[in-house]
A and B are shown apart, each in its own frame.
Chain A
Amino acid sequence: MGRGRVELKRIENKINRQVTFAKRRNGLLKKAYELSVLCDAEVALIIFSNRGKLYEFCSSSSMVKTLEKYHSCSFGSLKGTQPENESQYNYHEYLRLKARVEVLQRSQRNLLGEDLAPLNTKELEQLEHQLETSLRKIRSTKTQSMLNQLAELQRKEQVLAETNKALRNKLEENAQEFPRQMWEANAQTIPYNPLPTHSDEFFQPLGLNTAMHNSFNGLRYNPIGSDEMNVAGVNANNHNGLFPGWML
C-alpha cells in the first residue's frame, strides 16, 4: 500500500489493469460490507467490469428492494418523470449557486487582504491595482460628501447670523422705547414685556416661535436675579439696556 505513486488515469498495461481491477474490486466490496456492518447503513454496490461482467453487493436482503428505495429518493432518480426532473434541476441550480457564492466569498476575502497565499505575483499586482483605483473613487466620494456638509453648514450659519442680527436690532429699538429708570425701579418684579407682535417674523426662521415666547414670558425676576440685572443695567458696557450681554 502506497509503495508506488499511482497516477489517476487508465492503466495502459492490460495485465496490470486486470490485476488492479480484481484487487480493488475485492477491496471495495469488502469496504461496502464493513460500512454496512459498522455503521448500520443500507449499502448497495454495483460494479461492471470492462467486459461487462457484474459484481454486486447488497447489505439488505434484496438488491431490488434497495434500488427501489434509491428510485423513490428525489435526487438519485433515473426515471424521467416531471417532478423528479425538476428536483434534479433544482439540485443542480443549488450546487451552481453554492459554487458561485464560494467564489464570491473568496474574492471578498482577497479584497480584505486575506487568504492571499494562492495568489501569484500577477494576481497580487492586479488586486493591488483594483484596490488603489477603488480607494481613489472612495476618497473622491468622501471629499464630495464633506464639501456638501460644509456648504450646508455655511448656509445654516448665514441664516442664523442674519436672524441674530435682526433680533438684536429689534431689541435695540425696543430698548429705546422703554426709559432706563423704570427698568431699575421695578427690579423686583419686572415681567418680560413681549416684543411687538410683528417680531414673530424674526422667530420664524429658527422655528422657535411659540416656544421662545413662552420661555421669555415665564421669566420673573427674583431679588437675586434683579440685583444682577441692576448691575448689568447700569453697566456702561451693556449696549442693549434691556438685557444683559449674557442673555443674548
Chain B
Amino acid sequence: MQEEMRQLKEVNKNLRRQIRQRLGDCLENLGFEQLLDLEKESQEAVYIIRERKLKVIGNKLETLKKKVINLGCT
C-alpha cells in the first residue's frame, strides 16, 4: 500500500508537469528536440479537436434543421 501510494504520487507529479508543458508553461526545461515534438503533438491535437468540434456542431445543425422542417416552418 505504501509502495502504491508512492508510485501514485510520482505519477501525479509527472502528469502535472506534462500537462503544464502542454499548456505552454515551464518550457525552459525542455530540450530543443522535445520542444519540436511537443509543438507537433499540440498541432495535431488542435486539428483533431477542431474537426470534432465542427462535426458536433454540424450534427446539431442537421438535427435542428430537420426539426424545423418537420414543424413545417421552412
Number of residues on chain B facing chain A (CB within 8 A): 37
Taking CB atoms, residues of chain B closer than 8 Å to A45 are none
Of the candidates A104, A107, A112, the one whose C-beta lies within 8 Å of that of B45 is: A112
Pick the interface stretch among A62-70, A93-101, A214-222, A229-237. Answer: A93-101
The answer, among A90, A97, A120, A142, for a CB contact under 8 Å with B9, is A97
Q: Is the CB of B42 within 8 A of A138?
A: yes
Say whether chain B's binding surface is mostly helix, strand, loop, or mixed: helix
- A116 B52 Cβ-Cβ under 8 A: yes
**What is the interface of chain A mostly: helix, strand, loop, or mixed?**
helix
Most buried by A among B47, B50, B60: B50
Is A79 in the interface zone, CB < 8 Å from B?
no
Check B39–A138 contact: CB distance below 8 A.
yes
User: What is the CB-to-nearest-CB distance from B55 to chain A, in angstroms, rounded to a whole number?
Assistant: 10
From A108, A116, A130, contact of B15 by CB (8 A): A108
Q: Which one, B16, B19, B60, contacts A111 given CB within 8 A?
A: B19
Task: Quote the shortest CB–CB distance from B16 to chain A (angstroms).
Answer: 6
Docked CA distance A74–B17 (Å): 34
Residues of chain A within 8 A (CB-CB) of B53 are 121, 124-125, 128
Give A14-53 as 1s and 0s: 1 = Cβ < 8 Å from B's Cβ atoms: 0000000000000000000000000000000000000000
Task: Please name 29 pairs of A and B residues whose Cβ atoms are closer than 8 Å in the assembled complex, sorted by A.
Answer: A90-B1, A94-B1, A94-B4, A94-B5, A94-B8, A100-B12, A101-B8, A104-B12, A104-B15, A111-B19, A111-B42, A111-B45, A112-B41, A116-B49, A116-B52, A127-B49, A130-B23, A131-B42, A131-B45, A133-B23, A134-B42, A135-B43, A135-B46, A136-B24, A137-B27, A138-B27, A138-B38, A145-B32, A149-B32
List the interface of chain B (C-beta within 8 A of A).
Answer: 1, 4-5, 8-9, 11-12, 15-16, 18-19, 22-25, 27-28, 32, 35-36, 38-39, 41-50, 52-53, 56-57, 60
